[in-house]
Amino acid sequence: MTADSRTLTVRLDALEANVRRYGASAAGLIARVDHDGFGHGLVPVARTVAEAGAAQLAVADFDEAAVLRDAGITAPLLALRPIGRDVAGLEVSAAIATHDEARSAARHGASGAHVVIDCGTARRGIRPDDRDSFDAIADALPVIALMGVAGAGTTHAEASAALETSRALAPSASTHLHGTRGVLAGFGGADDYVRVGRGLYGIPLPDGTVTGTPVARLTGRVVTVKAIRAGEGVSYGYIYRASSDGRIALVTGGYADGVPRSIGNHASVLVDGTRARMIGRVAMDVVVIDLGQARARAGDEVIFLGDPANGEPSVADWARVAKYDPVDVAASIGPRAARSYTR
């Protein structure tokens, strides 16, 4: 197999469209490109998102911020964790939840703080009325914004009320609270920014709700095609045995590439325009598929994940079987899948 036997192809035009959609929901968009652009590739994603109109880019830490600055990306940057290399002179702000974080960020050269406000069961941030903690942070770093965070058990009304209370701490600071879920529910218009992650990439909510156009397609390639006889087993432990004679194919792409081990026998791929079921256990490097009526030969492309609007399997399909959040599926696609970009 060639180096492109596992490929994650990212549609930058779909990414741009998603950015514009979410950007229209508030005065400004903080686009989450953290953790290597949710696995889609940090620099290409960040450059595209910035050019599509995002007001700020949120990265995982100072290391990712430095990568973007080294790549020539000049958009305002927010490091969600104030750790990593020195960023003095790079104009990188940081999400700050404690005085210790503020002092550490200042030592690393951060330009300002987005003070994290605990708006309900978030387990990170200061209380909305905690003047002492806020003042301690402000003594270490200039306060740029109030960053509301809330857990899943907090209602929109509760979180918004908490953020509103925190405005007394810094009346002139900008605010951001809502993400993908909040925007889809019609919230965020009253805030200065919305802070969106999965929706930019078209990754569904945990309940399968569509958030936008999926931007990525994960593919493998057929290694071999062979006949299988009724009763013969496939892969480790023979958890699948053929009920009749047929044809199977070995396909590049396994759990080292982000294919959940638990979806063997339960999920499908697309080959020759036809759905074909994965059978047997998912191996580290490969899966086996039951071709059924599909035609295939060595080297043919097999679509693992893509856009369900085109009849392709989706991250929501895998998430349902594996009992994962769809974002876990999308972000776990390994580095062996060569990234490519198209429009």
Give ∠ CA 187-193-199 in degrees, rounded to 5.
65
Per-domain residue ranges of the chain: 12-201, 216-342
Beta-strand (E) ranges in the chain? 7-11, 28-32, 56-59, 77-79, 92-96, 112-118, 143-149, 174-176, 193-196, 216-228, 233-234, 240-241, 246-252, 268-271, 274-279, 286-290, 301-305, 338-342
Amino acid 151: pLDDT: 87
Structure tokens belonging to residue 111: 């330009």
CATH superfamily of 216-342: Lyase, Ornithine Decarboxylase; Chain A, domain 1 (2.40.37.10)
Per-residue confidence in pLDDT tens, the chain, 343 aa:
555 689 999 999 999 999 999 999 889 999 999 999 999 999 999 999 999 999 999 999 999 999 999 999 999 999 999 999 999 999 999 999 999 999 999 999 999 999 999 999 878 999 999 999 999 999 999 999 999 999 888 898 999 999 999 999 999 999 999 999 999 999 988 889 999 999 999 999 999 999 999 999 999 999 999 999 999 999 988 999 999 999 999 999 999 999 999 999 999 999 999 999 999 999 999 999 999 989 999 999 999 999 999 999 999 999 999 999 999 999 899 889 999 999 9
Q: Which of 3.20.20.80, 3.20.20.10, 1.20.1530.20, 3.30.450.40 would CATH assign to domain 12-201?
A: 3.20.20.10
Q: What is the pTM of this model?
A: 0.93
Structure tokens belonging to residue 219: 């593919």
Query: Hunting for tokens 């509301």 — which residue is that?
Result: 148
CA separation, residue 245 to residues 248, 277, 290 (Å):
10, 15, 11
